[in-house]
Amino acid sequence: MAKLRLILGISFIMLMIMSCTSQTNTESADTIKVDTSQIQADTVAVIEEEVIPELEQRMIDQGLVNIQTIDSTIMVELKYSTTDNFVHTDVYGDLTRAYMQQKPAEMLAKASKFLQSQYPNYRLLVYDGARPLTVQHKFWALLDTIPPAKRADFVANPAEGSIHNFGSAVDLTVYDLDTQKPLDMGTKYDYFGDLAYPSLEDQMLREGKLTKQQIANRLVLRNAMQKAGYMRIESEWWHFNAISRARAKELYKIVE
């Protein structure tokens, strides 16, 4: 009889445990649904962190800023992350965002603001910003069929460094939201020849190689950039320097 009472007692306890476990499992199921949602959100955040390209992370670590965090209306299409460039090679890989030093980025935002105050449907479209020296070496090597003395006509010698390599130069154009394409500047980006030279625009106009409208479009870009303190160069309508090479070397470390 004592053994029977012991068995019945154990059975009762087991039933109670099973009942509690069932209730706990039901409650846990609801809890898991909520926690799973949070886990999924956290997982997405982790994935987003993990997909930052190595080249981009290096620039972040060196203190450069994403220009679109300074002005989200600035558009970016990194040509060197495509094959649509003068070396017909993707040298940036997964990089899709443009970075610069803080002050040059702020100056670019000022140019953007001025442009939109004059032409509300126009936007700056950036083709290149800070360029790590490792990429400059890639450009130099890709031009290996050209004598070194002539390569500098296409890209700065990495031994000296470009102002791009200091995060203080930008290549860009003007984008028209109405037509959904860049303004006609007379040449493509990275065109090497007289037609791209701002210093030769009057001559190209007289010779019928550039139109008044193409030059006017260049002036829209140039005026906005110079209003913000950027300096043009005489051989590329798309290239602007925030500061001189000498000043860049004084203020910043070269971007590696």
Domain ranges of the chain: 1-51, 54-251
The whole-angstrom separation of Cα 168 and Cα 9 is: 82
Which of 193, 220, 221 lies closest to 207 in space, CA to CA?
193
* pLDDT score recorded for residue 42: 52
C-beta neighbour count of 256 within 10 angstroms: 11
The pLDDT of 123-128, averaged and rounded, is: 98
Out of 27, 49, 201, 236, which one is annotated catalytic? 236
Pairing of strands 75-76, 231-232: unpaired
- Write the pLDDT tens digit of every residue in 166-219: 999 999 999 999 999 999 999 999 999 999 999 999 999 999 999 999 999 999
**pLDDT score recorded for residue 151:** 80
State yes or no: is 236 an active-site residue: yes
pTM, entire model: 0.79
pLDDT at 147: 79
Which residue, among 168, 182, 175, has the nearest Cα to 230 in the 3D structure? 168
Cβ contacts of residue 174 below 8 Å, gap of 6+?
A: 115, 122, 123, 124, 125, 182, 183, 217, 220, 221, 224
**Closest Cα to residue 80, out of 68, 69, 90, 94?**
90
Q: What is the pLDDT of residues 37-58, one digit of tens each?
A: 554 555 455 444 558 999 999 9
Q: What is the mean pLDDT of the chain?
A: 85
Mean pLDDT of 227-246: 97
Q: CA 97 → CA 56, 80, 153, 227, 241, distances in Å?
A: 8, 11, 27, 24, 19
Q: Which amino acid is at 126?
A: V
Query: Which residues are documented as binding site for Zn(2+)?
Result: 164, 171, 239
Kindly state the tokens that stand for 66. 């994403």
CATH fold of 54-251:
Muramoyl-pentapeptide Carboxypeptidase; domain 2 (3.30.1380)
pLDDT tier for residue 89 given thresholds of 50, 70 and 90: very high
